[in-house]
Chains A and B, each alone.
Chain A
Amino acid sequence: MSHRRLLAWGGAALLIVGALVWAAWPSGGPQTAADRAHELATEIRCPDCEALSVADSSSSSAQAIRADLARRTKEGESDAEIRSVYVARYGVSILLKPQSSGLGIVVWGLPVLAFALGAAGLALALARWRRQPRLHATDADEELVDGVRSG
């Protein structure tokens, strides 16, 4: 592989890794209890509603859950502890964000798998194209073409 090509591949890899790190990096400073309560409210489904979060619903149960989340975060319960309380009370379907276990792995893993398979397929195709010999016209070929052209 030439130096320029190596540099191009390295640059592309650096760009991808940089983008992933930037996306995964936690943003902002330490969250307040109210911020955490609001964030949890966006993750918890309103029990009365079909697919609406507690943060978006105005039902009485959503209001009660919002107050409960505010109280729990203020008392210092961790996000995981609070989620587990609601999962124990309503089951896993109360969480709008899929868990990183069970069938939830498929949801998280599928895009990664699709990306990996796509990258592997692309690399394979590129390698294959590069392996194909470049054809050169022989004297006989040139003669044949010249013959056709001259009519």
Chain B
Amino acid sequence: MRHPARWATLAVGVVVACLAVLLASQVNTNPTADEQNHLVGKQIPSFTARTFNGQTVSAASLEGKAVLVNFWNSWCIPCQEELPALKAFEQEHAGDPTVELVGVLRDDTTQAARPYAAAEGMTWDLVNDASGNLSLDFGTRGQPETYAISPAGVVVGTEFGPASTHDLDTLLAAARTRS
């Protein structure tokens, strides 16, 4: 090798250039963007919870229905933005025994959420996940998040962030097509 120093400099330059290309390709990429919720295609976690009205809701009691499980709380602004769509959805399917909307209170207290829900006219089943275990089992990253569950109890779709009326209809259609 006639000029080892030049070769060494060239090697360092090539390595630095390769690293620059590699890192540049990662800029503006959200590492969580491509990560689908782990539950999609799987059975919903087994759970039993008591609603604000004192009724019991469980994974077993939801079997046979197309279900939307919505994680929310009273202080989150996106949840408040989503509320009109949820109310419209509930109103449209209120008389349908094959459709169920369940709200799971996340990172909040029943004391704060109950008067809020009453004032806002949230008539669907609301349960408090005080232990955080249900949120953990669903793998939620925040709120609002909505999960579509087929009558067989399989999670068939998710919506992260405030869902529109169209999003809720799409989730329901997915839940109905997968028996």
Contacts and interface: CB of A to CB of B under 8 A. Distances in A.
- A, B bound: yes
Interface of A: 47-48, 59-61, 63-65, 67-68, 88-93, 103, 106, 110, 113, 117, 120-121, 124-125, 128
A61 B5 contact: no
Contacts of B141: 47-48, 90
Contacts of A64: 131-133, 135-136
Given A88-B38, A113-B15, A117-B15, A65 B22 contact: no
Given A47-B142, A93-B35, A63 B132 contact: yes
Q: Is the interface of A mostly helix, strand, loop or mixed?
A: helix
Which 10 pairs from chain A and chain B are nearest by CB? Answer: A64-B132, A91-B35, A93-B31, A60-B107, A60-B132, A89-B139, A47-B141, A64-B136, A93-B32, A89-B38
A106 B35 contact: no
B8 A106 contact: no
Nearest to A93: B31
B12 interface: yes
B107 A61 contact: yes
Nearest to B39: A89
Interface of B: 4-5, 8, 11-12, 15, 19, 22, 26, 31-32, 35, 38, 106-107, 129, 131-133, 135-136, 139-142
Q: Is the interface of B mostly helix, strand, loop or mixed?
A: loop
A86 to B, nearest CB: 9
24 contacts: A47-B139, A47-B140, A48-B107, A48-B142, A59-B107, A60-B106, A60-B135, A61-B107, A61-B140, A64-B133, A64-B135, A64-B136, A68-B133, A68-B136, A88-B38, A90-B32, A90-B141, A92-B31, A103-B22, A106-B22, A117-B8, A120-B8, A121-B8, A124-B8
Contacts of A117: 8, 11-12, 15
A105 to B, nearest CB: 11
Contacts of B142: 47-48
B15 to A, nearest CB: 7
A103 B38 contact: no
